[in-house]
Amino acid sequence: MALVIEDGSGKADADSFATAAELAQFAVDYGFTVPAGTADQESLLRRAGVEMWRFQWVGNQFHDEQGLPWPRYYTIRRGFMADGVSLPRAIKLGQMALACEIYQDDTDPPEERTGAVTRERVEGAVDVQYAEITSYKGKPVSGRQSDGFFSKYTLGQYSGKLVRA
C-alpha cells in the first residue's frame, strides 16, 4: 500500500511526511544507510511516524483523528505563532532521520555494540576487552540527529527519549 503523505490538513490516514524517494535522497545526503526497496523504505517511514507520537510536542494537534502528530497549532516558531496548517521542514527531516536511525538499530542493535578497546592481549590466543558504552551512540534512537531536528518543537531537552520495549 502506498504511503499517504501529510499535506498540512491533518489527514486521518496519513502515515508519513516524506516519500520513499525523499528518504533515499536524505540518506545519501546525510550519510545514512537505508534499504534499497521502496516498500522497505515506506515501512521505515511508517515506523518513524508512529514513534513520533512518543515525543512531547509543543502546541496541540490540529484534528483529534489525524494520523501523525503534525500539523499543530499554538506552536511558536521564530517568535511567530504557527498557523496550524504548515508543516515545518525540520519535522519532515526529523522523521527521515528517525527512520534512518531505526534502520541502523535494526541492523546494528545498540545492545550488541561495544565500546572502545581498553585492553588487548596477544599470547597464543587473542583476548580483547571493551569499555562499557556510555556515549549517545550506544542509546537506541534517542540522542541522535532526529533530536536535533525536533528540538525546537518538543518540550524539554529529553522529552523525545525513546526506549525499546
Answer yes or no: is 10 within a domain: no
Query: CA angle, corner 66, sides to 145 and 94, nearest 5?
Result: 10
- For residue 8, tell me if it sits in a domain: no
At residue 108's C-alpha, the angle toward residues 126 and 125, to 5°, is: 5
Domain membership flag for residue 15: no
Local structure of 47: helix, strand or coil: helix
Residue 94, domain member (yes or no): yes
Domain, as residue range, for 69: 20-153
Please give the pLDDT value at position 41: 97
Please provide the average confidence, as pLDDT, over all residues in the chain: 81
* Predicted pLDDT of residue 146: 87
Please report the pLDDT score of residue 149 as a whole number: 86
Structural domain includes residue 45:
yes
Euclidean distance between the first and the last CA atom of the chain, given in angstroms as a whole number: 27
Residue 12 lies inside a defined structural domain of this protein: no
Q: Which three cell numbers stand for residue 43?
A: 515501512
CA distance 94 to 117: 32
For the cut 50, the answer to whether the pLDDT of residue 164 exceeds it is: no
Q: How many domains does the chain have?
A: 1
Does residue 5 fall inside a structural domain?
Answer: no
pTM, to two decimals: 0.75
